[in-house]
Structure 1
Amino acid sequence: MARFPVALIFAMLLGVLPAQAQSKLDGQFRAWLEKDLWPEASAKGVSRTTFEAAFDGVRPNAKLPDLVLPGEKPTTPKNQHQAEFNAPAKYFAEKTIGAVTSGGRARAGRLGKTLAAVEKRYGVPSEIILAIWGRESGFGAAKMPYDAFEVLGTKAWLATRKDMFRTEVIAALQLVETGVAERKAMRSSWAGALGQPQFLPTSVQKHGVDFDGDGKIDIWRSEPDTLASIGKYLADYGWERGREWGFEVVVPESVSCALEGPDQGKKISAWATLGIARANGKPFPVKEAAREGFLLMPAGRNGPAFIVSKNFYVLKEYNESDLYALFIGHAADRIAASDKNFLGKWGNVDALYRSDIAAMQRALEGQGYDVGSADGLPGFKTRRSIGAWQAKNGAAPTCFPTRKIVEALAK
Structure 2
Amino acid sequence: MLATRRFALSALAALGAGPALAQPAGSFESFLEGLRAEARRGGVSNAILQNALAGLRPNDRVMELDRRQAEFTMTWEQYRDGRLTPQRIDRGRQMVAENRALLESIEQRFQVSSRVVVAIWGLETNYGSFTGNFNVVEALATLAWEGRRASFFRSELLAALKILDAGHVSVERMRGSYAGAMGQPQFMPTSFNRLAVDFDGDGRKDIWDNKADALGSIANYLSRSGWQGGERWGREVILPAGLDESSLGRENRRPLGEWSRAGVRQADGSPLPMFDQPAGIVVPRGGSGQAFVVYQNFNVIRRYNPSDFYALAVGMLADRVA
Q: TM-score band (shorter)?
A: 0.7 to 0.9
- Residue aligning to 1:183: 171
Alpha-carbon contact 1:84-1:324 (below 8 Å) kept: no
Any gaps of 5 or more consecutive residues in structure 2? 1-15, 17-22
Letter in 2 for 1:278: Q
Alpha-carbon contact 1:85-1:323 (below 8 Å) kept: no
Q: Distance in 2 between matches of 1:38 and 1:262?
A: 44
- Choose which of 292, 295, 306 in structure 2 pairs with 1:320: 306
Change (3 A) 1:242 1:182: same
- Residue aligning to 2:320: 334
Letter in 2 for 1:200: M
1:127 and 2:101 aligned: no
Deviation at 1:95, TM superposition (A): 6.8
Q: Distance in 1 between matches of 2:148 and 2:210?
A: 34
Deviation at 1:276, TM superposition (A): 1.8
> Which residues of 2 match residues 270-285 of structure 1 at below 5 A?
270-285=258-273
Deviation at 1:284, TM superposition (A): 2.4
Letter in 1 for 2:31: W
Alpha-carbon contact 1:84-1:91 (below 8 Å) kept: no
Q: Distance in 1 between matches of 2:280 and 2:73?
A: 20
Change (3 A) 1:226 1:34: same
Q: Distance in 1 between matches of 2:85 and 2:303?
A: 20
- Residue aligning to 1:98: 86
Name the TM-score, length of structure 1 as normaliser.
0.68
Change (3 A) 1:302 1:161: farther
Q: Distance in 2 between matches of 1:94 and 1:262?
A: 23
> Which residues of 2 match residues 110-149 of structure 1 at below 5 A?
110-149=98-137
Change (3 A) 1:159 1:99: farther
1:34 and 2:33 aligned: yes
- Residue aligning to 1:308: 294
Letter in 2 for 1:51: L
Change (3 A) 1:257 1:290: same
Letter in 2 for 1:259: S
Alpha-carbon contact 1:80-1:86 (below 8 Å) kept: no
**Per the alignment, in what secondary structure is the counterpart of residue 237 of structure 2?**
strand
Deviation at 1:96, TM superposition (A): 4.7
Deviation at 1:260, TM superposition (A): 3.1
- Residue aligning to 1:88: 76
**Per the alignment, in what secondary structure is the counterpart of residue 303 of structure 2?**
coil
> Which residues of 2 match residues 142-181 of structure 1 at below 5 A?
142-181=130-169
- Residue aligning to 1:47: 45
- Choose which of 189, 208, 211 in structure 2 pairs with 1:220: 208
Q: Which of the pair has more CA radius of gyration?
A: 1
Alpha-carbon contact 2:235-2:293 (below 8 Å) kept: yes
Q: Distance in 2 between matches of 1:160 and 1:244?
A: 38
- Residue aligning to 2:56: 58
Count, aligned residues: 301
Give per-residue Cα distances to partners, 1:80-122, cap 9 Å, x unaligned: 43x3552222212267532321111111121111100111111
Alpha-carbon contact 1:293-1:310 (below 8 Å) kept: yes
Give per-residue Cα distances to partners, 1:200-252, cap 9 Å, x unaligned: 11111111111122221111111111111111110000000011100111223
Alpha-carbon contact 1:84-1:321 (below 8 Å) kept: no
- Residue aligning to 2:3: none
Give per-residue Cα distances to partners, 1:160-210, cap 9 Å, x unaligned: 332222221111000001101110111111221101111111111111111
Q: Distance in 2 between matches of 1:66 and 1:296?
A: 34
Name the TM-score, length of structure 2 as normaliser.
0.86
**Larger relative contact order (Cα-Cα within 8 Å, sequence gap ≥ 6):** 2
**Per the alignment, in what secondary structure is the counterpart of residue 251 of structure 2?**
coil
Letter in 2 for 1:293: A
Change (3 A) 1:38 1:127: same
Letter in 2 for 1:243: E
Percent identity, aligned pairs only?
37
Alpha-carbon contact 1:67-1:160 (below 8 Å) kept: no
